[in-house]
Amino acid sequence: MKKITFGLLGVLCIAIHAQEIPKVLPIGSDLPSFSLPGIDGKNHTEKDYAEAKILCLVFTCNHCPDSVASAARTEVIHQDYKDKGVAIVAINSNNPGSLTPDELGYSPFGDSFEEMAPFAKDFGWTFPYLYDGENQQLATACGAQSTPHIFIFDADRKLRYTGRMDDAGSSTGPVEKSFIRDAFDALLAGSQIKEPVTRSFGCSTKWLFKGSTVVAEQKSWEGRPVTLDDLDEDIAKKLRENKSGNVRLINFWSTTCGPCVAEFPALIETYRRFQNRNVDLITISMDPSDNKGTVKKFLESRHTALSDHTKPSMDKEGRTSNNYIWNGGNPDKLAEAIFPEWTGALPLSIIIAPDGKIIWSHNDGVDVVELRRQILKGLQ
């Protein structure tokens, strides 16, 4: 019988087909070889770090709240140990196609390769950030369970520590226990690591096989009803008062406004990202009221629906829709009711805090990353 052998990619395909999550690499294991692109435009292999006394792989990402919270701490640790022979290498092994929109509500960035550089820039990273999300070979070889998940290899490139970075989790406050520092200090001193294995708490790795969940979620969203109500001055004032308890994003738009139509999908995606947090989206069409049918068809084609999490706050205000068309006559009344500073130019997006205070506004097409940053600020 002919002997059949499987390379790492073959093992990966089998694991994904069976929807099995790889097991964590045991202590004492050799460093798996890798060849991965970095945000610096270069391809990185394990040989690039041959001179380091310690090589630390940090499996992380752009979206997870634990990863976001630990990002600044990681750079501090890098600065503290880079001159002691420690090389820190961050790796994003999440497949962006395996993330449902609601998993992205804690960062302005998703987990695509293109979004890694701006994420690293936000936190001043000066160490390599590599991408493994296309085929997840290194994450599979190491058994990276969550983000962040730390793997520390000694000078002989034997695994000496695996687990979480510290006890801070998604908090940005003081760190009482740093497992990564303890491991570095022990290895540099030639000592044994007291806790060589800990659990890596955080968002689970977004394996390729999870893409089916994303497809199912999209179909479910597309099946949700889309409603459209008339808007008058009284309702407009209630929208500005914002008694929902949510951070409220209001978008003024029209079907005849090119920039409005162009930015609309990004607004819906943003709302879906925050759908399980205290955020709602109100769309207000400035089309003539007798164009209501056209507006409704547009909203339906863009799946401008309501999340289950937002619906209770809408009911609390006595409203029946998150989409409106102005039929209150003179549009100056609408501007005075919601945003007196508005010149009338479309599109206009504003963010209102739960106390009714406008915390951000922008005329013309939005920078979607900046929009998400402002929503996150409002949620703090």
Say if residue 69 is in the same domain as residue 12. yes
**Residues 280, 142 share a domain:** no
What pLDDT, in 10s, does the model give residues 338-356?
999 999 999 999 999 999 9
**Could you list the residue range(s) of the whole structural domain that residue 162 is in?**
8-212
239 burial (CB, 10 Å; 0-12 / 13-18 / 19+) is buried
Question: Is there a single domain that holds both residue 117 and residue 208?
Answer: yes
Residue 321: which of 279, 290, 276, 282 has the closest Cα?
Answer: 282
Those residues of the chain that have pLDDT short of 70 are 1-19
For the stretch 184-207, pLDDT in tens is 999 999 999 999 999 998 999 999
pLDDT at 246: 96
State whether residue 231 is helix, strand or coil. Answer: strand
Neighbours of 249 (CB within 10 A): 24
Extract the tokens encoding 104. Answer: 């992205």
Q: What is the model's pLDDT at position 176?
A: 86
Q: Are residues 164 and 271 in the same domain?
A: no
The answer on 254 and 179 residing in a single domain is no
Total domains in the fold of the chain: 2
Give the number of other CB atoms < 10 A from CB of residue 201: 17
Domain identity same for 143 and 233: no
The dihedral formed by the CA atoms of 283, 289, 290 and 294, expressed in degrees to the nearest 10: -10
If asked whether residues 159 and 282 sit together in one domain, one would say no
SS3 91: strand
Q: Judge if 80 and 202 occupy the same domain.
A: yes
Residue 327 sits in a domain whose CATH number is 3.40.30.10
Give the strand pairing for 279-285 and 247-253.
parallel
Looking at 149, 180, 212, the residue that finishes a domain is: 212
Residues 196 and 62 in one domain: yes
pLDDT at 19: 66
Q: Is the CA virtual torsion 326, 329, 330, 333 positive or negative? A: negative
Domain end call among 183, 212, 241 = 212
Residues 203 and 230 in one domain: no
E-assigned strands of the chain?
35-37, 43-45, 54-60, 86-92, 129-131, 146-147, 149-153, 159-163, 203-204, 229-231, 247-253, 279-285, 323-326, 348-352, 358-363
Query: Which of 212, 240, 268 is where one domain is finished?
Result: 212
Q: Is residue 343 part of a domain?
A: yes
Tell how far CA 201 is from the center of its chain. Answer: 17
In a domain, 217, yes or no: no
Residues 51 and 78 in one domain: yes
**Unique residue bearing structure tokens 């009911």:** 315
Q: Answer yes or no: do 265 and 361 share one domain.
A: yes
1 within domain boundaries: no
How many Å is the Cα radius of gyration of the chain?
A: 25
In a domain, 219, yes or no: no
Whether residue 286 is contained in a domain is answered as yes
On whether residue 259 sits in a domain, the answer given is: yes
Query: Does residue 2 lie within any of the structural domains?
Result: no
pLDDT of 168: 85
